[in-house]
Structures are given as structure tokens and as C-alpha cells.
Structure 1
Amino acid sequence: MLHFLRKLRQRLLTENRFGKYLLYAIGEILLVVIGILIALQVNIQQEEFKEKKVTEQLLKGIQADLKLEVERIDFLTGYYTQITNGIQQILLNHQGKATQSNKELGQYFLNTFEFRKFSKIDVNYQTLYSSGILQGIKDKKLSEEIITYYSRQFLEWSLEIYQQKAGAFDFNNVPDFQPLDKLQTGANYTSIPEFRLTFEDTYKTDFTEFIHEPEVLNFLADLLHQSELVFSNLKTYRESNLALSNRIQDYLDPR
């Protein structure tokens, strides 16, 4: 093809047919331009295809992260439910509406100092955001929903407040409490360097009397109030988590 065009150009020049040669030259330029445009279009389509694949992989990664977060949320819901149920049992015992053994009351009370945190798994989100791909998603509402979800921190804050309240209890203000009882609940405390602690099966503290102390009751009531906020945030996070996962699925598999 190139050989034929070269011969045609030479013949037009030798025959002094400049008008036709000019048309030929313009046509050749147009062919070159069209070829370049086609090549550019193919390259653009290839780049868009690659970016689409990367976007899909990251969105699927976010879905996997959201699934792990739901599992954590469900764990925290069960975990704090157990703690709040224990607090309610203590308060019912104080009111004379329930009766538990000293060991049960002690376990309920000491459980309130065990807390768990929550943090989002955002590696895929950070990659999607920092690469600029998130801003390039055609569904702008989905982009906004993803950013909004990962910007929320109210569950994390409510758990931190619970931790602060639990850690603020001063055992020194309640002399009826035996300090070694706090160590008794964890197996890790049975051996301390240069000391050996041997614990009995029962608590040394008389929790049937201990829970009647005003400081204890105020502490438990305050934790119970904070737990309501924790549960509300856990519920909201779970709902928004599942909603975002479904929105991503709809984007990946449009109907």
C-alpha cells in the first residue's frame, strides 16, 4: 500500500499535475490524522478499561472491608449487651428484685471495666480516594456516600467516652473493695515478676454490700446511660454499612 502511494506521488510530480498532487497530499495528511485519532481513541478506551477494572477491584475491596466491619459491630453489640445486662442485674439486686451470688455480682461489676474499641478498615478507601479514582466514579452520589461513611466517627467517640468513664472510677473512694479482686478475673495476672499470687474461687469483696455504695451506683448508672448511646451508634453504623455495601453492588452490577 505504501509502495503504491509513493509511486502515485512520484508520477503526479513528474507529470506536473500539481492540482491533483495537492489533493493527494491533503488526502494523505487526512489519512495520517485519522490514523492518529483512531490510535488515540483506542488508547483512551484501553486506559478507561484499565481504570474501570481498578475501580471495580477497589470497590469490591471496600465491600470486603465493610463485611469485616459488620462482624466487628455484631461482636461489639453482643459484648456490650452482656455488660449492660450485668449492670441491670446489679441494679435489680440493689432494688431487691433479683438475687445473685457474691461471685456473680463481682463478675458483673468487674466486667464493666473491660471495653472494646472500633475502627474502620479503610485501606481500600484510602487507595481509592488518594488515587483520584473516587472522584472519577460516574455515580457522584455513590462517591459522596462513600466519603460520608468513612468520615463519620461518632461510634468511635462514644466508645472512647465509655472507656473514659470506666477508667475514671476510683476504687480508693470505696474502701470495701479488696484490690486483689480486680486481678482475680484475668489469668494473665496469676504470675507477676518476683511475686506469686494465689486466688481463691470466691471474691474477697462483699459485693452484696459494695454495690449499695453511692459511688458505685452512680458509676453504674452513668455507664448504663453511655451504653445507650453506644448501642444507638452501633445500630446506625450497621445500617449505613449495609446500605453502602448494597449501593456499591448496584453500581457494579447495574440492572
Structure 2
Amino acid sequence: MIKFFRQIRYKLMGEQNTARYLKYAIGEIILVVIGILIALSINNWNEKLKENKKEAYFIDELQKEFINDSLTLQRLIFLSNIKAEEGKIVKEFLLGQPVSKDSIISMVFFNGRFLEFESFTPTYDEIIATGQQSIIKNDSLKTLIKAFKDQGSFYKRFLYDECMTIKQQYNLHAYKYFERSILPELWENATKENPVVDIDALGDYMIDVEGYKKDSKSLYYVTMNTGVDMDLNRFYKTVVMPDLELILKKIRDIKSKT
């Protein structure tokens, strides 16, 4: 093609027809410009295709990670509800209601655990760390995720810190009457079918159920601790879960349009 144009150019130059040569030169320039524009358009199309594939990959990964977050949160909602109900049983025991001492020991220890939810989304963290936020074109999705993450950081600084402090005080009080080393035994012997461990199976540990019951501070700490579990349960159900569902719905909407 280049050789063909060169031959035409030489022929026109030989004819010494300036007007015809200028027309040819202008035409050649136009053809070159059109060729460059076509090449740029193809290159832009290829880059756009690569970006779309990359965005689709990130969207898929984000969906998997937020689904895992949702499953984790569902477990925490379930467990925090159980802990709140068991806290009420321990409170009833302290107020004089007949409850198995085996149950009380298991509940006192297990209720001292803090069920903290922490979102785990390495893909989103990578996007932020590498400054690739623009790869996700949907601004609404980016806004939802950022708000969700910011909210998690806020509550971690305030709600979680307060809950952890109450849990620590509750546990320190319980350890006055129940040896801390009992906890590993409880984890080892408790099962899903039978979470209550027989006192006789715990070995030679300090276990003072009556002392715990008679201490007037026990009721205070149990009440506070039960309040923490109820608060966490409410927070996870009414605040965190709806926000997660909004993110997942937005992702499904985006994928349905691609």
C-alpha cells in the first residue's frame, strides 16, 4: 500500500501539476488521519473491554465477600439472641428461680464471649489501597459500600468498645467464683446437641455457684452483660444486616444489566 501511494506521488511530481499534487497530498493526509482515528478507536475499544472484564471480576469478588459477611452476621445474630436469652435465665437464677447449676456454669462462661462483627472484604480493601475506585462505574454501589465501611469503623470505636468493657467487667467478676481454666474444658466437652457440661466432668476446679448467687454484684453484671447481647443483636439485625442487603441487591442489579 505504501509503495502504491509512493508511485502515485512520484508520477504527479513528474507531471509538475501542482494543483493535482496538492489534492493528492491532502487526500493522503486525510487517509492517514482516518487510519490513526480508526486505530485509536480500536485501541480504546480494547481498553474498554479490558476495563469491563476487570470491573466484572471485582463485582463478582465483592458479591462473594459480602455474601460471606451476611452469613457471618446471621450466625452472630443467632448466637447473640441465644446469649441474651440465657442471660435472662441466669438473672432469674440469681433472683431465686430454680435452674440447674450445670446450666448456670456453662451460661456464665459462654455469655462472657464478645460476638464482634467485622466485615472481611479483601477485594474492596485492595481497590482502595491501589486507588482503583474508578474501575467500579456504579457510583451508587461505591457510596453504599463506603457508608457501610465507615459505619463499621464508627461503631467499632464506640459501641464495640463500650460492649467490650462491660464484658470484661462481667468476666472479672465471674472469675472470683469460677476458675478461668474451666473455659477450655467447656469448649472441649460442650457439643451442639448438648452445650451444658456436667459439673462433675469439669475436674478439680474452683466452682462456687452459691457464692456467685449470694454476691449482690452478680445480678448487676449479669444484667449489664445481657443488655450488651441484646443491644448487639438489635444492632446487627436492624442496622448492619439491612445495609448489607442493600449492597447485595445493588450488586445483583448491576450484574443483571451486564
1:10 Cα deviation (Å)? 1.1
Q: CA deviation at 1:166?
A: 1.5
Aligned residue pair count: 243
Structure 1 residues 79-88 or 62-71, which shifts more?
79-88
| Map 1:67-216 → 2, pairs under 5 A | 67-96=67-96, 98-153=97-152, 154=154, 156-157=156-157, 158-169=159-170, 171=172, 177=177, 179-180=178-179, 182-187=180-185, 200-201=200-201, 205-208=207-210, 210-216=212-218
- Given candidates 218, 221, 241, the residue that maps to 2:244 is 241
Task: Report if aligned partners of 1:118, 1:159 keep a CA contact under 8 Å in 2.
Answer: no
Is contact 2:66-2:248 (8 Å) kept? yes
Per-residue deviation, 1:237: 1.3
The AA in structure 2 aligned to 1:91 is K
Higher relative contact order, chain-length normalized (CA < 8 Å, sep 6+): 2
Counterpart of 1:40 in structure 2 is: 40
Tell whether 2:232 aligns with 1:230. yes
Cα deviation for residue 36 of structure 1 reads: 0.8
Q: Alignment identity in percent?
A: 20
Matched, 1:61 2:64: no
RMSD of aligned Cα (Å): 2.7
TM-score, normalised to structure 1, is 0.83
Q: For 2:186 and 2:90, how far apart are their aligned partners in 1?
A: 26
Aligned CA distance change for structure 1 residues 152 and 170 (closer, same or farther; 3 Å):
closer
More helix by share: 2
- Residues 152-206 of structure 1 deviation map (CA, whole Å, 9 limit, x = unaligned): 225545344322211124757996x2x43x322323999xxxxxxxx84377534
Q: How does 1:14-29 map to 2 (within 5 A)?
A: 14-29=14-29
Name whichever of 238-247 and 122-131 sits farther off: 122-131
CA contact (8 A) 2:83 2:229 kept: no
Letter of the 1:7 counterpart: Q
1-structure distance, mates of 2:115, 2:33: 65
Aligned partners of 1:14, 1:173: CA distance in 2, in Å? 107
Given that residues 65 and 121 in structure 1 are in contact (C-alpha distance below 8 angstroms), is that contact kept between their aligned partners in structure 2?
A: yes
Residue 110 of structure 1 and its aligned partner are, at CA, apart by: 1.8
Answer with 158-167 or 14-23: which moved more.
158-167
Query: Which has the larger displacement, 14-23 or 102-111?
Result: 102-111
Cα 1:121–1:16 change in 2 (3 A) is same
Deviations 1:128-151 (A, max 9, x none): 234444235433222211221222
Q: Residue 205 of structure 1 aligns to a residue in which SS?
A: coil
Mark the CA change 1:135 to 1:147 in structure 2 (over 3 Å): closer, same or farther. farther
1:5 counterpart = 2:5: yes
User: What's 1:196 paired with?
Assistant: none
Shift of the 173–16 alpha-carbon distance from structure 1 to 2, 3 Å rule, reads closer
Match of 1:138, SS state, is coil
C-alpha distance in 1, partners of 2:109/2:41?
Answer: 68
1:5 to 1:142, Cα distance in 2 relative to 1, 3 A: same
Spell out structure 1 runs of 4+ moving beyond 4 A.
170-175
Q: Secondary structure at the match of 1:201?
A: helix
Moved more, 203-212 or 35-44: 203-212
* Cα 1:108/1:253, change in 2 over 3 Å: same
